[in-house]
Structure 1
């Protein structure tokens, strides 16, 4: 799980470095999702964009540390689906925190035209969160079936 999380973070950070040096000024169209360089000083959907960078970094670090602790405690008994979810969320969180520490902003490079510009780490976090919900629903159903058999 940690290897997958590290891979998610490494790929995203590599893409961010490429976007900063390789994307043309106006970006370019790439189908349903264009490549366009943007910087987000806030958190999701630019919330707290006006807050001091140190406060956003500290808040992001606290959330990432809490997530890491949750994963550490939960991983030994987690299903494969839940482990995949943990890996995606943790990898995305670590990548965005690592990117933010450098200059107080997160580098975004994927733009759909109807959604705020985002990055692979954001995508991993959202997919991981969806997988966590699905794994929780599966666990709830399994527990309900177990109770019904009693």
Structure 2
């Protein structure tokens, strides 16, 4: 249930802050785009994959909706990676595309916030 409520709250907050002009910097706009991609990617997985998995086919609608699973993971082998990390068997750690978008967006928003704060301090010093 929480995995359906949190994205809806996040989308609502993004819309409110967008209307207030909180994302004027190009870096912030890229971050919001990545954040939206991550949110919609995870929502799509939860809503669609929860209905396609054989293990929960007999479960009711609400259970399948709330217990939807995220499956957009990438797993691939890298040449010579097994030489660096022998226990990996050459496999790079699997990662989730949507969550990666959300993490990159968070870093970009953090950097953008630091830049805005530095610019505000510089402007206050000039005034």
Output the TM-score relative to the length of structure 2. Answer: 0.62
Partner of 2:5: 59
Gaps of 5+ in 2: 51-67, 77-87
Flag the structure with higher strand content. 1
Higher relative contact order (CA 8 A, sep 6+): 1
Distance 1:110 1:67 in 2: 29
* Greater Cα shift, 93-102 or 76-85: 76-85
Task: Identify which of 76, 97, 101 aligns with 1:124.
Answer: 101
Tell me how far apart the structure 2 counterparts of residues 77 and 130 of structure 1 sit (CA, whole Å). 14
Cα distance in structure 2, aligned partners of 1:146 and 1:125: 31
Distance 1:73 1:64 in 2: 14
Whether the 8 Å CA contact 1:85–1:129 is kept in 2: the answer is yes
Q: Decide whether the 8 Å contact of 1:108 with 1:117 is kept in 2.
A: no
SS at the partner of 1:84? helix
**Aligned-residue offset at 1:111:** 4.9
Q: Which has the larger radius of gyration?
A: 2
Partner of 2:33: 87
Superposed displacement of residue 132, structure 1:
0.3
CA RMSD of aligned residues (A): 2.7
2:47 paired residue among 92, 98, 101: 101
Runs of 4+ deviating beyond 4 Å: 74-77
TM-score, normalised to structure 1's length?
Answer: 0.53
